[in-house]
Structure 1
Amino acid sequence: MATRTLHNDPGETWFITFTCYNWIPLFEITKSYKMLYDWLRFIAENYKVQTHAFVLMPNHVHLIIKMPDTEVGINKIISNGKRFMAYELVKKLTASGKIDLLNQLSAACTEKEKNKGQKHKVFELSFDAKPIYSTAFLYQKIDYIHHNPVSGKWLLCDDFIKYPHSSAAFYHSAKPHEFLTIIDYRDFWTDINHVRPVRLL
């Protein structure tokens, strides 16, 4: 049985991943990328969570975020966000008549979850959270995030910088994102020589 990990996170930077249930591309099916941007803006405005890098994929999300120096925990931020997004995704699936898919998500709920009032399993139970303590790990994860749309089976575009739901163009082309204010990680992270990191190529 999966257990919930509590993170001690005030002021720390995290690599976060959460995934739709069974890797079903629910964000793409429901065209819900705007909903994800709305959530990222909400946690920035209400909890002072800074987004350094991101990619919104058809069925999962990768983020590098910096938590504020407060007691608001990352578990609360992510779990509340997933709960809100699950409700919105189910509403969109219902409105578009995706009955078979709704039945699949409903059947995935355990009896315990149903007894608590959950009707659909929209996301995988937990989320992945890795603290970032070194520039090497930071660079690795940013590179991974930005190349995700053109890696493996995805091939969502021919140039990772052109993928619209990513921070790649912000860092590689100095292009502000249309829907989200990205907080430049280079203003916070420096290499061992104490100079600003160069853009990843």
Structure 2
Amino acid sequence: MVIQKRKSYTSLNNVYFLTATIHKWRPLLDENDNKGVIVDYLKKLSEEKLISVYGFVLMPNHFHLIWSQDKMNGKETPQGSLLKYTAHTFLKQLKLENRSFLYEVISGNKKHEIWQRDSLSIEIYSRKVAKQKLAYIHSNPVSGKWQLAKDYLDYHFSSARFYEYAQDDFGFLHNLFTVFDGE
């Protein structure tokens, strides 16, 4: 069986739906502190005007993000910076807890892998697709096996309340539909 890798290409200033998954689907993001690492770094990148975040949800072993990468972070893309920073932060904590062995890999250029290599980015090109992707990420915590909250609006690590109540609990959210004004 041949496993085909997803290939995602992004460009600056376009809006994308990103999915990033923890290596081997391990529940590293079960812990709110680890979710906080992601939220804090998204806020930092946003404050530095490197990204615009339109929607997100953080799940136990992956996250979905609707965003645009607005400027490079030095020589790195904001996505590269986000995944690298969070991986280093998580690995440091895992080493302190003697759990880093769970993320060991056999590779010539690294000893551990926190994020799977096949992060998927899909360009959002219309209001219709934007609505569909937002509905998907906001319902993720209460769908299927997850049941992380009784109601999707009760799940903290999501942009759902921003769209329902105009409540930005994170300080970095932008309304996705302003991107498609005039359509």
TM-score category by the smaller chain?
0.7 to 0.9
Q: 2:34 aligns with which of 14, 32, 35?
A: 32
Which entry has the higher C-alpha Rg, 1 or 2? 1
Maintained 8 Å contact 1:160/1:168: yes
1:182 equivalent in alignment to 2:177: no
Maintained 8 Å contact 1:51/1:65: yes
The CA RMSD over aligned residues, in Å, is 2.3
Partner residue of 2:117? 125
Amino acid at match of 1:90: L
Maintained 8 Å contact 1:135/1:191: no
Q: How far apart, in 1, do the equivalents of 2:182 and 2:34 lie?
A: 37
Partner residue of 1:91? 92
Partner residue of 2:64? 62
Q: How far apart, in 2, do the equivalents of 1:3 and 1:166 lie?
A: 25
How many aligned residue pairs are there?
179
Q: CA deviation at 1:104?
A: 2.7
Residues 155, 30 of structure 1: CA spacing in aligned structure 2 closer, same or farther, 3 A cutoff?
A: closer
Q: 1:139 aligns with which of 120, 131, 142?
A: 131
Name the SS for the 1:43 alignment partner. Answer: helix
Q: 2:101 aligns with which of 100, 103, 109?
A: 103
Once the two structures are superposed, what CA deviation does each residue of 1:118-173 show, in whole Å capped at 9, x if it has no partner? 22111101210001111111110000010000011000000001100001011112
Structure 2 stretches of 5 or more lacking a match?
none
Structure 1 stretches of 5 or more lacking a match?
193-201
Maintained 8 Å contact 1:149/1:157: yes
Residues 82, 16 of structure 1: CA spacing in aligned structure 2 closer, same or farther, 3 A cutoff?
A: same
Residues 152, 14 of structure 1: CA spacing in aligned structure 2 closer, same or farther, 3 A cutoff?
A: same
Name the SS for the 2:19 alignment partner. Answer: strand
1:172 equivalent in alignment to 2:168: no
More displaced, 132-141 or 167-176?
167-176
Q: How far apart, in 1, do the equivalents of 2:116 and 2:140 lie?
A: 19
Q: How far apart, in 2, do the equivalents of 1:141 and 1:43 lie?
A: 22
Q: How far apart, in 1, do the equivalents of 2:33 and 2:155 lie?
A: 15
Residues 127, 47 of structure 1: CA spacing in aligned structure 2 closer, same or farther, 3 A cutoff?
A: farther
Amino acid at match of 1:184: N
More displaced, 148-157 or 32-41?
32-41
Q: CA deviation at 1:90?
A: 1.3
Identity %: 28
Partner residue of 1:79? 80
Maintained 8 Å contact 2:43/2:171: yes
TM-score, normalization by structure 1? 0.80
Residues 181, 72 of structure 1: CA spacing in aligned structure 2 closer, same or farther, 3 A cutoff?
A: closer
